[in-house]
Structure 1
Amino acid sequence: MEKHVHIISFDVPYPVDHGGYFDLFYKLVALYQQGIRIHLHCFEHKRSQQEELEQYCAEVFYYPRQCGHKGFSHKLPYIVASRTNAELEERLLKDSHPILLEGVHCTYLLQDERFNSRKMVLRLHNVEYKYYKQLFHSSHSLFKKMYYLNESRLLKQYEESIANKALVLAVSEQDSNTYRKEFGAKQVATLPVFLPFSEISAPEGVGCFCLYHGNLSVNENEEAAIWLIKKVFNDLKIPLVIAGKHPSPRLQRIANKYGNACLVADPSEQEMQDMIGKAQINILPSFNVTGVKLKLLNALFNGRHCLVNEATVQSTGLESACHIGNNATAFKSQIVQLYRQPFAEEEIRLRKTLLLSTFDNKRNAQRLIQWLF
C-alpha cells in the first residue's frame, strides 16, 4: 500500500544554493527513492516556484508568506505567525496522512485543535531562540537588535509550549539535549542532516589558498569573515579567499584594503565546490553553537584541511577530523603549520569512518519513515 506524507517547508527548498536547503531538498529525494508519495507545501517569499520539485513530489503547493506588519503577532514569533495559511489547513484536513513540519517556522498547526489527533513530526533545524539570541549579539543595526531580541524571547516561550506536541527530530545531539533539559520534551531523537555527498572527495596533496565560505548576507558569517581578514590574516603572507552570497559593501571595502584577501561574490554552486576542493585550508570559525554547520560537512566531504573553533564542532562528533583554535593567535599558528602540509590518505580514511555511516541518506530516510508511519 502506498505511503503518503505532507511536508510543510518554511521556504522553497530548491535551488540548493546554501547550507540551509541541503536537508530540505535531499530529504525529499531520499524519501522519494524509498517510494513515499510526498505532498509538499512551500511558503514562498523571495524564492520562485521550481519545476525540479515535481520530480520527487506527487504534488507541490505554494503559499505566500505574510511578510511585514501582516506577519507580526504579540504572542507568536514572527517566523511562525508569518507562515499561517487557511488554504493550507483546509487542504491538510482532507486526509489523515502524517505531517512533517520543517522547522519551528512551520509549527502553527500545533496550536490548532483540529490537528490534535494527527501524526505530526517536527524537524528541528535549530534551537531557534538561541539562534536569534546570537543574531542579536552579532548585529550592528539597533532596529535588527531589537527585533532579534524580541523574537528570541517569543521563541523561547513558544518552543517550550510546543516541545511535547510532536515528535521532535533534531539535527544534533546538542539540540536534542536542549529540548529535553530546558523544555522537558519527552519524544526527542537525533536524525542527521540529508546531504548530496555519498563519498569523500577531498583531494590529497597541497592546495593554493585558504577559504572561508558561507552566505555572506548573514550577520554572523560577515563578522566571521571580517574577523579573519582583520585579526588572523592581517600580517600573514598567505592568500585568503572569502566566497559567498550577497556580500555587503562594508565587507567588500574591508577585503579591498588587504592585499592578501580576495572576495568572490555570488559564485555558482559549481564554482563554490571547485574552490572548496582547491583550497589548502577551509577555515570556518563560528559564533553560533546551535544546529549543524552544513558548510563544515561540505568542507569535510570535499576539501582538504579544516580549521575551526570549538563553537563550530561542539557536540558534533567531528572534532577529530578538524584542527581547532579558539583565538586569532591559535588560528595564525595553525594556518602557518598547515599551509605547506600535504593532505594525506590517513585523513581521508578518518573522514570515511566518521562521516559515511552517519550521513547515509538511505538509512536515515528509512529511520524517518518508521517515525512517520
Structure 2
Amino acid sequence: MKQQLHIVCLDVPFPADYGGAIDMMNRIILFKQLGTAIHLHYFSYNDRGMPNELNQYCESISVYERKKFTTGYFFDKQPYIVSSRINEELITNLNKDNHPILLEGIHCTGILPYINRSNRRIVVRMHNDESIYYKELARATGSIKQKIFFNRESRLLKKYADTLPGDCLYACVSEKDIQVLQQDHRITNTAFIPTFPTWQEVNCPEGMGSICLYHGNLSVPENEEAAMWLLCRVFSKVRMPFVIAGKKPGRRLLKAAELCQHTCLIANPSESELNDLIRKAHIHVLPCFNKNITGIRLKLLHALFEGRHCVVNTPMVAGTGLEEACHIAGNSNGFASIIAQLYHQPFAEEEIKLRKRLLGNTYSNEKNTRQLIEWLW
C-alpha cells in the first residue's frame, strides 16, 4: 500500500515560475516518482488559477480561499501571511486521518494548534527567514504603504516564530536559517534540506556567449533595485550588450531600459525563452542588496548549473559554499572591471569541473526527497 502524505502549499505550486513554486513543485514531482500518494492542499488567491497539470501528481487536490486583507489586520497579533491561511475546511480535512503532513512555509503553520499531532509526523519546510525577508522588502520598496505593511509583517513574524510548536521538524534551506531558529527562537528540532532546483546536472556550455544577463522576478522590489543599479551604475561604464529578463517589470524599469541603447528588457519570458537566454549569455550579472541574508537565490543556481561566467557580490553567495564558482565584486566599479575582463574570456572545461565538484549531489532532488521520507514516516 502506498504511503499517504498531505502537502499544504502556501500558493499554487504550478506553474513553477518563481523560486518558491519551483521548490514546492519539484518536491511534489519527486514524491510522486518515489511512490508517495499525495493529498495536495493549496491556497488560491491570485491569477495563477487552478491548473489541471497538478492532477497527474496527486491522489486528491483541495483548494482554499485565502482571507482577504482588511484594515482589521492592524489589530491582529499574527502576521497576515499566517492568519490569512488559517482555514477551518483545511483543518477539518487534515484531521480526518493521521497521515503525515508537509507544511510549505511558515505561512501555513497557523493551523498547527488545531491539528491532531499525536502519533503523527509533521515537517515544516521553512523557505527562508520570513522576518528578515520582509524587512528587506520594506527596505527595497519605494511605496510608503508597502513599507509600513512589510515592516509590520517583519516584526510580527519575529514574534510569531517564538510560538512555533517544538514537536514538528523544521527543514531549513540554509545553515544560517537553522542558526536563527535555534538561537533566536529556541527551536532545536531543525534540519538542513537544500532547495529543490529544476536543474539536476551541471550542463554549462563552453566557449563564448553573446550577452550579459540579469534575470529575476522584476515585480519583487529587491530584484527591481538590482536591475536599476546595474543599468545606472554598471552598464553606464561598460558598453556590453545587456539583457534584463523577468516577470512583471514596472514602468520605472521599463523606461530606464529604453534609455540605454545597449540594453534590452524582455518582460515575462516563457520558461524556454529564459533557458535559451541563460545558455546564450556569456556573463550572468547577479548582485543582491539584502543587508540581511536568508535562504538561497534560485537564479544563482540556474546560472551555475546551465550558464557561463557569474559575477556576484558577497550577499548573493554568503553562506552558500559556492563562492569559488563565482567572480565576486565589491562595488559598481568592481562589477564593471570584472565584466570587461570576462567578456572576451572563453568559459573553460576546468570551470565546469569546479561547479560539478561544488554542487555535487547537494542539490539532488531524489536524495533530498528520500531524506524527507525518512523524517515523515
Q: TM class by shorter-chain length?
A: over 0.9
Which amino acid is the alignment partner of residue 348 of structure 2? A
Deviation string, structure 1 residues 300-320 (Cα, Å, up to 9, x no partner): 111000111111111111111
1: CA distance between counterparts of 2:234 and 2:118?
53
**Structure 1 residue ranges without an equivalent (≥5):** none
Q: What does residue range 139-288 of structure 1 map to in structure 2 within 5 Å?
A: 139-162=141-164, 164-288=166-290
CA-CA distance at 1:216 after TM superposition? 0.2
Q: Is the contact made by 2:87 and 2:111 (CA closer than 8 Å) also made in structure 1?
A: no
Match of 2:22 in 1: 22
CA-CA distance at 1:118 after TM superposition? 3.6
Taking only aligned residues, the RMSD between alpha carbons, in angstroms, comes to 1.4
1: CA distance between counterparts of 2:361 and 2:19?
20
The answer to whether residue 319 in structure 2 is matched with residue 315 in structure 1 is yes
Deviation string, structure 1 residues 97-121 (Cα, Å, up to 9, x no partner): 1111100101012232644664211
2: CA distance between counterparts of 1:70 and 1:55?
40
Q: Is the contact made by 2:245 and 2:274 (CA closer than 8 Å) also made in structure 1?
A: yes
Q: Is the contact made by 1:163 and 1:183 (CA closer than 8 Å) also made in structure 2?
A: no
1: CA distance between counterparts of 2:296 and 2:167?
24
Q: Is the contact made by 2:167 and 2:189 (CA closer than 8 Å) also made in structure 1?
A: no
CA-CA distance at 1:20 after TM superposition? 2.2
Structure 1 runs, 4 residues or longer, greater than 6 Å off: none
The answer to whether residue 53 in structure 2 is matched with residue 52 in structure 1 is yes
Instruction: Give TM-score, length-normalised by structure 1.
Output: 0.97
Which amino acid is the alignment partner of residue 207 of structure 1? G
Q: 2:162 aligns to what SS in structure 1?
A: helix
More displaced stretch, 252-261 vs 8-17 = 252-261
Q: Is the contact made by 2:209 and 2:282 (CA closer than 8 Å) also made in structure 1?
A: yes
CA-CA distance at 1:2 after TM superposition? 2.2
2: CA distance between counterparts of 1:108 and 1:116?
17
Instruction: Give TM-score, length-normalised by structure 2.
Output: 0.96
Aligned with 1:370 (options 350, 367, 374): 374
Which amino acid is the alignment partner of residue 25 of structure 2? F
**Structure 2 residue ranges without an equivalent (≥5):** none
2: CA distance between counterparts of 1:21 and 1:277?
22
Match of 2:97 in 1: 95
Q: Is the contact made by 1:110 and 1:116 (CA closer than 8 Å) also made in structure 2?
A: no
CA-CA distance at 1:244 after TM superposition? 0.3
The answer to whether residue 64 in structure 2 is matched with residue 63 in structure 1 is yes
Match of 2:362 in 1: 358
| 1:138–1:86 Cα change, 3 Å | same
Aligned with 1:82 (options 78, 81, 84): 84
CA-CA distance at 1:356 after TM superposition? 3.3
| 1:60–1:344 Cα change, 3 Å | same
